[in-house]
Amino acid sequence: MIFAFLIQCAVSFVSVVAFAVLFHAPRQEWAWCGLTGMAGWAAYWLLVQMEQGVVTASLVAAVVLALLSRILAVVRRCPMTVFIMGGIFPLVPGAGIYYTVYYFIMGEEGQCLAKGVETLKIAAAIAIGIVLVLALPGALFQPLGCRSRKTR
């Protein structure tokens, strides 16, 4: 279990760094992008393992991802966009889109509808998770910035 978890972390880290490269993120932020994405995926994976369902897992993962992005934005003094854009890709329901089409083509309407609704739910869960974190006042994160500036 722990071994599997570590592999999941490592692979998600690499995948998000790959996306940071694709979006031309500055080199010194690559590792931080990977870390943010990894944290989101780790939360998602753990919750799915605990059989909490993919929608709940996506919601929690989105909160973790957005929170870490906001913290890093202050600490690294860099727009939050840089961290959140790569990190969101493991959560976006790519598999959901695929299975919806697959069942659609195969003529299994019931399964298709179920997957389609699930895909929409996941997208909504991600949206809600991120909005929750964005709603937090900026003042909460300010002390982090001051501390990092002093240590520099």
Partner 1 sequence: MAQQEQVARLAADAAQLLLESGGEIYRVQQTIEHIGRAYGAPDIHAYVVTNAIFVSLEKNEGGSVNEMRYVRTRSVHLSRVMAVNALSRRIAGGAVSLEQAQKELEDVRSLPASAVWLQVFACGVGTACFAYLFGGTAWDAFAAFWVGLVLQPFVLFLGKNGAGQFISNTLCAVLVAMASVLMMQMMRLVGVTCSLDKIIIGGIIPLVPGIALTNAIRDVANSDYVSGTIRAAEALLIAVSIALGVGFVLKLCALIPGVVL
As measured in angstroms, the least distance from the Cβ of 50 to partner 1 is 17
Q: Which residues bind partner 1 (CB under 8 A)?
A: 8, 11-12, 14-15, 17-26, 29, 41, 77-79, 81-82, 84-85, 88-90, 92-95, 97-102, 104-105, 123, 126-127, 130-131, 134-135
Closest approach of Cβ 27 to partner 1, in Å? 9
Residue with structure tokens 């003094």?
Answer: 77
> 22 or 146: whose CB is closer to partner 1?
22
Judged by CB, which is closer to partner 1: 102, or 142? 102
Which residue lies nearer to partner 1 by CB, 94 or 143?
94
For the bound state, the minimum distance from the C-beta of residue 32 to partner 1, rounded and expressed in Å, comes to 12
**Least spacing, CB of residue 97 vs partner 1, in Å:** 5
- By beta-carbon proximity to partner 1, the closer residue of 14 and 147 is 14
Q: 64 with 40: CB under 8 angstroms?
A: yes
Phi-psi region of 107 (alpha: psi -120 to 50; beta: other; left: phi over 0): left
40 in Cβ contact with 65 (< 8 Å): yes
Backbone angles phi, psi at 2, to 5 degrees: -65, -40
Asked whether the beta carbons of 32 and 72 are under 8 A apart, the reply is yes
